[in-house]
Amino acid sequence: MIGAAPEIKLHVLSTGVMETDLTWLLLKGGRTIRDRHHKDDPVVWGDCPTHAVLIEHPEGRVLWDTGVPRDWEERWAPTGFHDFFPVKEPIDGPGYLDSSLASLDLTPDDIDILVLSHLHFDHAANARDFAGGKTRIIANDKEVEGASQIQGYSAGAHIVSDYQGLPIETVSGDVEILPGISVIETPGHTWGTMSLRVDLPQEGTKIFTSDAVYLRDSWGPPAVGAAIVWNNLAWLESVEKLRKIAEETGAEVIFGHDGEQAAQLRYAPDGVYR
Ligand SMILES: [Zn+2]
Protein backbone atom coordinates (compact mmCIF):
# COMPACT_ATOMS: atom_id res chain seq x y z
CA MET A 1 0.00 0.00 0.00
CA ILE A 2 2.61 2.46 1.08
CA GLY A 3 4.99 1.42 -1.69
CA ALA A 4 2.31 2.22 -4.25
CA ALA A 5 1.54 5.63 -2.80
CA PRO A 6 1.97 8.55 -5.19
CA GLU A 7 4.29 11.42 -4.33
CA ILE A 8 2.08 13.38 -2.03
CA LYS A 9 2.92 15.70 0.83
CA LEU A 10 0.76 17.00 3.59
CA HIS A 11 0.58 20.17 5.65
CA VAL A 12 -1.38 20.60 8.86
CA LEU A 13 -2.93 24.08 9.02
CA SER A 14 -3.87 25.86 12.21
CA THR A 15 -7.40 27.20 11.85
CA GLY A 16 -8.28 28.86 15.13
CA VAL A 17 -8.64 27.75 18.72
CA MET A 18 -11.82 27.66 20.75
CA GLU A 19 -11.93 27.89 24.49
CA THR A 20 -14.52 25.72 26.10
CA ASP A 21 -15.57 23.49 28.92
CA LEU A 22 -13.84 20.29 27.89
CA THR A 23 -16.81 18.35 29.20
CA TRP A 24 -18.28 18.89 25.75
CA LEU A 25 -15.49 16.68 24.49
CA LEU A 26 -15.23 14.07 27.19
CA LEU A 27 -17.88 12.89 29.58
CA LYS A 28 -15.81 11.45 32.34
CA GLY A 29 -15.50 11.84 36.08
CA GLY A 30 -18.87 13.51 36.69
CA ARG A 31 -18.12 16.69 34.76
CA THR A 32 -20.92 19.15 34.15
CA ILE A 33 -21.04 21.75 31.38
CA ARG A 34 -20.54 25.43 32.26
CA ASP A 35 -20.37 28.63 30.21
CA ARG A 36 -17.66 31.31 30.21
CA HIS A 37 -19.20 33.18 33.10
CA HIS A 38 -18.23 30.23 35.25
CA LYS A 39 -14.88 29.54 33.65
CA ASP A 40 -12.96 30.36 36.82
CA ASP A 41 -14.81 27.72 38.72
CA PRO A 42 -12.72 24.64 39.31
CA VAL A 43 -13.76 22.86 36.16
CA VAL A 44 -12.14 21.87 32.95
CA TRP A 45 -12.14 24.96 30.73
CA GLY A 46 -9.36 24.70 28.26
CA ASP A 47 -8.21 25.08 24.69
CA CYS A 48 -10.00 23.25 21.91
CA PRO A 49 -7.77 23.71 18.87
CA THR A 50 -8.98 23.13 15.32
CA HIS A 51 -6.94 22.18 12.28
CA ALA A 52 -7.25 21.63 8.57
CA VAL A 53 -5.15 19.42 6.35
CA LEU A 54 -3.73 20.42 2.98
CA ILE A 55 -2.54 17.66 0.68
CA GLU A 56 -0.41 18.40 -2.35
CA HIS A 57 -1.16 15.54 -4.76
CA PRO A 58 0.01 15.10 -8.36
CA GLU A 59 -3.66 15.13 -9.41
CA GLY A 60 -4.67 18.16 -7.40
CA ARG A 61 -4.67 20.04 -4.15
CA VAL A 62 -7.01 18.68 -1.49
CA LEU A 63 -8.12 20.51 1.64
CA TRP A 64 -9.69 18.72 4.58
CA ASP A 65 -11.93 20.97 6.72
CA THR A 66 -11.82 24.72 7.27
CA GLY A 67 -11.71 25.43 11.02
CA VAL A 68 -13.49 28.22 12.85
CA PRO A 69 -14.35 31.61 11.38
CA ARG A 70 -12.12 34.63 12.01
CA ASP A 71 -15.26 36.82 12.23
CA TRP A 72 -17.02 34.62 14.78
CA GLU A 73 -18.01 37.49 17.08
CA GLU A 74 -20.01 39.28 14.39
CA ARG A 75 -21.01 36.26 12.39
CA TRP A 76 -22.70 34.13 14.98
CA ALA A 77 -26.26 34.98 15.94
CA PRO A 78 -26.88 35.16 19.69
CA THR A 79 -27.24 31.47 20.30
CA GLY A 80 -24.93 30.69 23.19
CA PHE A 81 -22.03 29.79 20.88
CA HIS A 82 -20.18 32.93 21.98
CA ASP A 83 -20.40 31.90 25.58
CA PHE A 84 -19.71 28.22 25.21
CA PHE A 85 -17.15 28.27 22.36
CA PRO A 86 -15.38 31.65 22.20
CA VAL A 87 -12.52 31.68 19.70
CA LYS A 88 -9.00 33.02 20.04
CA GLU A 89 -6.21 33.21 17.52
CA PRO A 90 -3.41 30.74 18.16
CA ILE A 91 -0.37 32.31 19.73
CA ASP A 92 1.92 30.10 17.65
CA GLY A 93 1.43 29.57 13.95
CA PRO A 94 -0.35 31.62 11.34
CA GLY A 95 -3.79 31.51 12.89
CA TYR A 96 -6.95 31.00 10.90
CA LEU A 97 -7.50 29.18 7.62
CA ASP A 98 -7.05 32.24 5.41
CA SER A 99 -3.68 33.16 6.89
CA SER A 100 -2.56 29.53 7.05
CA LEU A 101 -3.24 29.17 3.33
CA ALA A 102 -1.58 32.51 2.66
CA SER A 103 1.52 31.32 4.51
CA LEU A 104 1.83 28.73 1.72
CA ASP A 105 1.11 31.36 -0.95
CA LEU A 106 -2.33 29.86 -1.54
CA THR A 107 -5.84 31.24 -1.77
CA PRO A 108 -9.11 29.29 -1.74
CA ASP A 109 -9.13 29.29 -5.56
CA ASP A 110 -5.95 27.21 -5.50
CA ILE A 111 -7.78 24.34 -3.84
CA ASP A 112 -9.12 21.72 -6.26
CA ILE A 113 -11.10 19.65 -3.78
CA LEU A 114 -12.42 20.65 -0.36
CA VAL A 115 -13.59 17.74 1.76
CA LEU A 116 -15.71 18.59 4.79
CA SER A 117 -15.58 16.04 7.59
CA HIS A 118 -19.03 17.25 8.63
CA LEU A 119 -20.94 20.52 8.64
CA HIS A 120 -20.45 21.77 12.21
CA PHE A 121 -19.46 25.42 12.68
CA ASP A 122 -15.89 24.61 13.67
CA HIS A 123 -15.25 22.57 10.50
CA ALA A 124 -17.40 23.98 7.69
CA ALA A 125 -17.51 27.66 8.69
CA ASN A 126 -15.19 28.86 5.95
CA ALA A 127 -16.52 26.56 3.22
CA ARG A 128 -18.24 29.45 1.46
CA ASP A 129 -14.81 30.90 0.63
CA PHE A 130 -14.44 27.96 -1.77
CA ALA A 131 -17.64 28.51 -3.71
CA GLY A 132 -15.93 30.54 -6.43
CA GLY A 133 -16.22 27.75 -8.97
CA LYS A 134 -12.61 26.54 -8.80
CA THR A 135 -13.14 24.01 -6.02
CA ARG A 136 -15.18 20.83 -5.77
CA ILE A 137 -16.76 20.67 -2.30
CA ILE A 138 -17.41 17.18 -0.95
CA ALA A 139 -19.30 15.95 2.11
CA ASN A 140 -21.10 12.79 3.18
CA ASP A 141 -24.59 12.25 1.81
CA LYS A 142 -26.13 11.51 5.22
CA GLU A 143 -24.56 14.67 6.63
CA VAL A 144 -25.95 16.85 3.86
CA GLU A 145 -29.36 15.22 4.14
CA GLY A 146 -29.47 15.66 7.93
CA ALA A 147 -28.17 19.21 7.89
CA SER A 148 -30.63 20.22 5.17
CA GLN A 149 -33.54 19.32 7.46
CA ILE A 150 -32.58 21.90 10.09
CA GLN A 151 -35.12 24.70 10.51
CA GLY A 152 -34.08 28.15 11.71
CA TYR A 153 -30.60 29.49 12.43
CA SER A 154 -28.95 26.44 13.93
CA ALA A 155 -29.36 23.10 15.60
CA GLY A 156 -26.67 21.73 17.86
CA ALA A 157 -23.38 22.82 16.31
CA HIS A 158 -24.80 23.11 12.79
CA ILE A 159 -25.23 26.72 11.63
CA VAL A 160 -27.35 26.65 8.49
CA SER A 161 -25.81 29.76 6.91
CA ASP A 162 -22.38 28.06 6.92
CA TYR A 163 -23.43 25.58 4.23
CA GLN A 164 -26.86 26.45 2.85
CA GLY A 165 -26.83 26.77 -0.93
CA LEU A 166 -23.26 25.55 -1.36
CA PRO A 167 -22.72 23.25 -4.36
CA ILE A 168 -21.77 20.24 -2.26
CA GLU A 169 -21.07 16.92 -3.99
CA THR A 170 -22.02 14.00 -1.79
CA VAL A 171 -20.19 10.73 -1.24
CA SER A 172 -21.38 7.64 0.60
CA GLY A 173 -19.36 5.08 2.53
CA ASP A 174 -15.59 4.78 2.33
CA VAL A 175 -14.42 6.51 -0.82
CA GLU A 176 -11.05 7.18 -2.44
CA ILE A 177 -10.88 10.87 -3.27
CA LEU A 178 -7.53 10.59 -5.09
CA PRO A 179 -5.04 7.71 -5.04
CA GLY A 180 -3.71 7.53 -1.48
CA ILE A 181 -6.40 9.84 -0.09
CA SER A 182 -9.65 8.35 1.21
CA VAL A 183 -12.56 9.29 3.39
CA ILE A 184 -13.84 6.82 5.97
CA GLU A 185 -17.51 7.02 6.90
CA THR A 186 -17.57 7.36 10.70
CA PRO A 187 -21.06 8.46 11.78
CA GLY A 188 -22.16 8.96 15.36
CA HIS A 189 -20.90 12.44 16.21
CA THR A 190 -23.28 13.57 13.45
CA TRP A 191 -25.26 11.74 10.76
CA GLY A 192 -22.38 11.62 8.34
CA THR A 193 -19.11 12.54 10.02
CA MET A 194 -16.14 11.34 7.99
CA SER A 195 -12.50 10.69 8.84
CA LEU A 196 -9.58 11.13 6.46
CA ARG A 197 -6.96 8.55 5.56
CA VAL A 198 -3.78 9.57 3.78
CA ASP A 199 -1.12 7.05 2.76
CA LEU A 200 2.11 9.01 2.67
CA PRO A 201 5.02 7.63 0.66
CA GLN A 202 7.60 8.01 3.44
CA GLU A 203 5.79 8.40 6.75
CA GLY A 204 3.03 5.86 6.13
CA THR A 205 -0.64 6.16 6.92
CA LYS A 206 -2.15 9.10 8.79
CA ILE A 207 -5.75 9.08 9.95
CA PHE A 208 -7.38 12.40 10.76
CA THR A 209 -10.47 11.61 12.80
CA SER A 210 -12.09 15.03 12.90
CA ASP A 211 -14.89 14.81 15.47
CA ALA A 212 -15.32 11.06 15.09
CA VAL A 213 -12.74 11.10 17.90
CA TYR A 214 -12.14 14.38 19.73
CA LEU A 215 -9.25 13.46 21.99
CA ARG A 216 -6.69 10.78 22.72
CA ASP A 217 -8.64 10.26 25.95
CA SER A 218 -11.77 9.58 23.86
CA TRP A 219 -9.92 6.96 21.81
CA GLY A 220 -9.02 4.69 24.72
CA PRO A 221 -9.39 1.77 24.57
CA PRO A 222 -12.01 1.75 25.86
CA ALA A 223 -13.54 4.61 23.87
CA VAL A 224 -15.06 7.38 26.04
CA GLY A 225 -18.01 9.39 24.72
CA ALA A 226 -18.77 13.09 24.71
CA ALA A 227 -21.64 15.50 25.20
CA ILE A 228 -22.06 16.27 21.50
CA VAL A 229 -22.98 12.95 19.96
CA TRP A 230 -25.91 12.26 17.67
CA ASN A 231 -25.92 8.49 18.08
CA ASN A 232 -23.80 6.85 20.77
CA LEU A 233 -23.89 3.33 19.35
CA ALA A 234 -22.93 4.47 15.85
CA TRP A 235 -20.20 6.61 17.41
CA LEU A 236 -18.73 3.64 19.26
CA GLU A 237 -18.84 1.49 16.13
CA SER A 238 -17.04 4.21 14.20
CA VAL A 239 -14.26 4.46 16.77
CA GLU A 240 -13.73 0.72 16.58
CA LYS A 241 -13.79 0.87 12.78
CA LEU A 242 -11.01 3.45 12.89
CA ARG A 243 -9.09 1.45 15.48
CA LYS A 244 -9.14 -1.59 13.19
CA ILE A 245 -7.86 0.41 10.22
CA ALA A 246 -5.20 2.02 12.40
CA GLU A 247 -4.03 -1.36 13.66
CA GLU A 248 -3.96 -2.85 10.16
CA THR A 249 -1.98 0.04 8.69
CA GLY A 250 0.10 1.10 11.69
CA ALA A 251 -1.37 4.55 11.16
CA GLU A 252 -0.74 7.57 13.28
CA VAL A 253 -4.14 8.82 14.46
CA ILE A 254 -4.63 12.59 14.69
CA PHE A 255 -7.63 13.52 16.79
CA GLY A 256 -10.02 16.37 16.06
CA HIS A 257 -9.50 18.65 19.03
CA ASP A 258 -6.69 17.31 21.22
CA GLY A 259 -4.75 20.22 22.69
CA GLU A 260 -1.77 18.16 23.82
CA GLN A 261 -1.46 16.38 20.51
CA ALA A 262 -2.02 19.62 18.59
CA ALA A 263 1.05 21.05 20.29
CA GLN A 264 3.11 18.22 18.80
CA LEU A 265 1.90 18.56 15.20
CA ARG A 266 4.09 20.10 12.51
CA TYR A 267 2.24 23.09 11.10
CA ALA A 268 2.46 24.93 7.81
CA PRO A 269 4.29 26.68 6.42
CA ASP A 270 7.42 24.99 7.76
CA GLY A 271 5.91 21.73 8.89
CA VAL A 272 5.40 19.08 6.25
CA TYR A 273 4.62 15.37 6.25
CA ARG A 274 5.84 13.28 3.31
ZN1 LIG B 1 -18.44 18.45 15.21
In a domain, 270, yes or no: no
In a domain, 254, yes or no: yes
Nearby residues of 5 by Cβ (< 8 Å), 6 or more positions away: 179, 180, 199, 200, 201
* Distance from the Cα of residue 210 to its chain's centroid: 4
In a domain, 271, yes or no: no
The CATH code of the domain that includes 222 is 3.60.15.10
How many A from CA of 104 to the centre of ligand 1? 26
Residue-wise pLDDT tens digits, 200-210:
999 999 999 99
In a domain, 272, yes or no: no
* Closest C-alpha to 87, from 66, 73, 97: 73
In a domain, 273, yes or no: no
* pLDDT value at residue 205: 98
* pLDDT value at residue 1: 47
How many A from CA of 98 to the centre of ligand 1? 20
How many A from CA of 211 to the centre of ligand 1? 5
**What domain range includes position 33?**
9-262
How many A from CA of 251 to the centre of ligand 1? 22
In a domain, 193, yes or no: yes
Could you say which residues of the chain have pLDDT below 50?
1-3, 30
* pLDDT value at residue 209: 98
In a domain, 75, yes or no: yes
CA distance 183 to 171: 9
* pLDDT value at residue 33: 62
Q: Are strands 136-140 and 168-171 parallel, antiparallel or unpaired?
A: parallel
Q: How many domains in the chain?
A: 1
The enclosing H or E element of 41 equals none
142 and 149 Cβ atoms separated by less than 8 Å = no
How many A from CA of 272 to the centre of ligand 1? 25
How many A from CA of 162 to the centre of ligand 1? 13
In a domain, 95, yes or no: yes
* pLDDT value at residue 42: 58
